[in-house]
Structure 1
Amino acid sequence: MKFKKPNQHGAWAMIIMPVLFGMFASSFNFYQILFFAAWFMIFFFIDNLLFYVKQRKKQIGYVKGSLLFLAIATILLIPVVLNDYRVLFFFLAMLPFGAINLYFASHRNERHILNDFSAITIFSIAGVLACFIGTHQLHHNMIYVFFISFLYFVGTTFYVKTMIREKKNIKYKYLSFGYHTLGVIAAFMIHPLIGIAFIPSLIRAIVLYGKPLKPMKIGIAEIGNAVFITLFIGLFITQHLN
C-alpha cells in the first residue's frame, strides 16, 4: 500500500479555506467537523487515484491507498448524510469537474488551465456544502462562499504560473495583472473588508513578477497571503453575513 501526500501549498489551501468560509457563513455544528475530516480523506483518495492514473508504470499500491482513504471518508460521512441526505447533491455537482481532472491526469496534462479551474470549482463547491450543512437550506451566503473562493484561487493559479511554468509568457503576465486588478475592484464592490483582503494578492502579483524566487519561497509567501485573506474574509462573514 502506497500513499502520496500533496506537496504544494495551493492544494492545502484549497482543502482548508473554502470549507472554513462555509463554516464561518453558517451556524456551526458537529456535522461540519465530520465533513471537514471526510473532505481531507476525499482529497487524499482523489489525489492518490489521479497519481496512479497518470503513472506510466502503474503501482497498484496507490489504488489500495486511495481506497483506504475512501473507506474512511465514507464512514465519516454516514452521519452527515443521515442528518440530511441532500448533501449528496453537492457531491453529484462535483462529478463533472472531477471527470475533467481525471481526463487531464490520464493525458499527463495536469497543468492545463482548464484542469486548474475544474479543481477550483470542486473545492469552491465544498465550501458551499460546508455552509449548507450548517444552514440546512439554500442560502444567499453560499454565493459569497463560492464566489470568494473561486475568485481567490483563480488569481493564485495565474500568479503561480507567471512565477514558475509561464514566467516567460507575456500573455500570462498581463492576464495575471488584469485579473488581480479586476478582482480587487470586484471585491471592493462586495464590501471594503473583502477588498482589503484581496489587495496583498494584487501587490504580490505585480511586485514579485520576474523575481527569481524558488518555489519554496513562493509557497511561504502564499501561506502568509492565505492566512491574511482567511482572517479578513472570516471577519467579514461573521460580522455581516450572520
Structure 2
Amino acid sequence: MKKYIPNQHGAWAMLVLPFLLGVTASKGQFIHIPLFICWLLIYLFSFPLLQAVKTRRFARVAGPLKVYGILLVPFALYLVIVQPVLLGFVLLLLPLFAVNLYYARTKNERALLNDIAAIVAFCLVIYPVFYVGRGESWQAVNELFVLAVLYFTGTAFYVKTVIRERNNPRFYYGSVGYHLLFAAAGLFLFPSLLVPLLILLLRAALLPRTGITAKRTGIIEIGFSVMLYVSVLVLYF
C-alpha cells in the first residue's frame, strides 16, 4: 500500500483546505463531489509520477499510475464536458507542475521554491471550486487564496525547522520572523483571524524546540489546518 498511498501527511491538508475554502466562499453544489474526487486522483497520480521522475524507475510505480490514471479519466472527461472552463485551470497548473518535475529530476524536491510552486498549485483549486459553486464575492475568494498561500508557505518554513533545518538557528529565526510578519499583515488583511494567526506564530516559535518528529509534525499540521478552516467559518464570514 505504500506505493498507492502518499506518506506526506501534511500534503493532505494542502489538498483539502483550499478546496473547502472554495466551497465556503461559494455554495455547495453536486459538481463539487466529482470535482473533489478528480482533484484527489490528480494528487494520487502525480505523487508516484514525481517519484518515478526522481528515481528513473517508472516500473516500480506502474501499478498506482495505471490505477489512478484509469480512475481519473472518466471524472476528468465528465468535468470538462459539463464545465469546459476547467481546462483553463489545468493550463494554470502545468507550469507549476513543471517546476515540481524539474526539482524531482534534479533530486532537490525539498527546495523552498519547489515547495512554494506546489503550495500555489494546491491553493489555486479554490478558484474552480468557487466558480462551479456559483460564488459571488471575488474579493472574498481572492483573500482566502492569499490566506491559504501565506499559511502553507509559513508551514513550509516551520516544517523545515523541524526536519532538515532543525540545527540551523538562522532558519528558525527566519521562520518565526515570517510568522510574525504574517500575523502583522493579518491585522490589515484578515483582522478577524488575528487569534489563529497568533497561534500559528506560537507554533513556529515553540514546537521546533520540543524535538517533535517529522511524522507527528505532519499529523498535527492537519489539526492546525482544521483550526484555520473553522476560524474562517466562524470569524471571517
Shared fold per TM-score greater than 0.5: yes
Aligned to 1:128: 127
Aligned to 2:195: 196
* Superposition TM-score, scaled by structure 2 size: 0.92
Does 126-135 or 186-195 show the bigger shift? 186-195
Q: Is 1:34 the equivalent of 2:46? A: no
* CA distance in structure 2 between the partners assigned to 1:232 and 1:71 by the alignment: 38
* Superposition TM-score, scaled by structure 1 size: 0.90
Gaps of 5+ in 1: none
Aligned to 1:45: 45
Gaps of 5+ in 2: none
Q: Secondary structure at the match of 2:167?
A: coil
Q: Secondary structure at the match of 2:70?
A: helix
Per-residue deviation, 1:137:
7.7
Aligned to 1:116: 115
Q: Secondary structure at the match of 1:208?
A: helix
Does 125-134 or 92-101 show the bigger shift? 125-134
Aligned to 2:92: 93
Contact 1:52 1:63 in 2 (8 A): no
Amino acid corresponding to residue 150 of structure 1 in structure 2? V
Contact 2:12 2:222 in 1 (8 A): no
Q: Secondary structure at the match of 1:60?
A: helix
Q: 4+ runs of 1 displaced by more than 4 Å?
A: none
Identical aligned pairs, as a percentage? 34
Matches within 5 A, 1:5-44: 5-44=5-44
Per-residue deviation, 1:82:
2.1
Per-residue deviation, 1:136:
7.0
Aligned to 1:160: 159
* CA distance in structure 2 between the partners assigned to 1:226 and 1:10 by the alignment: 9
Per-residue deviation, 1:229:
0.9
Q: State how many pairs are aligned.
A: 237
Q: RMSD in angstroms over aligned alpha carbons?
A: 2.1
Contact 2:27 2:135 in 1 (8 A): no
